Amino acid sequence: MTDTVYGFLVTEKCFHCEMISTEFSLDPKPPLEEYREGEHFWNLMESAQTIRYNLKCRSCGRVVELKELLGLMLCTGCDPACQVDVLRKRLEPQRAWVYVAFGFLPEKKHPQLPDEKIALLEEYINQRRKSKTSSIRIVPGRLVSRIQNCYGEVIKDTDMLSLTPPNI
C-alpha cells in the first residue's frame, strides 16, 4: 500500500427519495448537520474513520490508483436474491469470504472501480493474509441488488480517535 490518506467515510441519506450518498472527508470532524441540496434533504446516517490508498508493486514500481474505491464491505447474506449472496453461498464450501468493493454513491454520478483493479486488489489482499485455509473474493458494487437495504459490514475504524496513524 502506498499514498495512504486517513479520513472519514461519511454516509448520508435523503429522507425525501431515499438516495444514499457517500464521500471521503479529510475534515478533522465529520459533518453532523442535515442540509438541503436541490431536491434532496440529506441526513447523516453514519460516519467512521477509514483510509484510502493506492497499490504499488515492489518489483517494478508500478502504482495502481484506487481513487474510485471508497471501501470494502463483507457480504453478510442479508438478501438471498442478491448476486453477491448467491456467490457467497457458492464459495462457502471453499472457505472464501466475499467482499464488495464499493465506490462513491450514487453510482450514476461517480466512476466505480473497474474489474481489473478489483482483481489486483484481491490478489494483494490474499497474498498478505496469514491464513492459507481461506481466501478473500472481491466483487464490484454493481452486483449488490439494493444498496439501500444491504446489511453488509463495511471495513472501518469506529474507535479510531485521530487522523494520524499510531507510531509502531
Of the candidates 84, 63, 87, the one whose C-alpha atom is nearest the C-alpha of residue 149 is 84
pTM for the model stands at 0.81
Residue 166, pLDDT score: 52
**What are the DSSP calls for 16-85, one per residue?**
TT--EEEEEE-SSS---S-EEETTEEEEEEEEEEEEEEEEE-TTT--EE--TTEEEEEE-----TTSHHH
pLDDT at 165: 53
pLDDT tens readout for residues 30-50: 777 889 999 999 999 888 888
The reported pLDDT for the residue numbered 157 is 53
Give the 3-state secondary structure of residue 133: coil
Specify the pLDDT at position 164. 57
SS3 category, 13: strand
Tens of pLDDT along 97-124? Answer: 999 998 898 888 999 999 999 999 999 9
Separation CA 42–CA 53 (nearest Å):
27
Residue 109 DSSP class: G
Which residues of the chain have a pLDDT value below 50?
158, 161, 168
Residue 111: predicted pLDDT: 93
Q: Where are the domains of the chain?
A: 2-154
Amino acid at 31: P
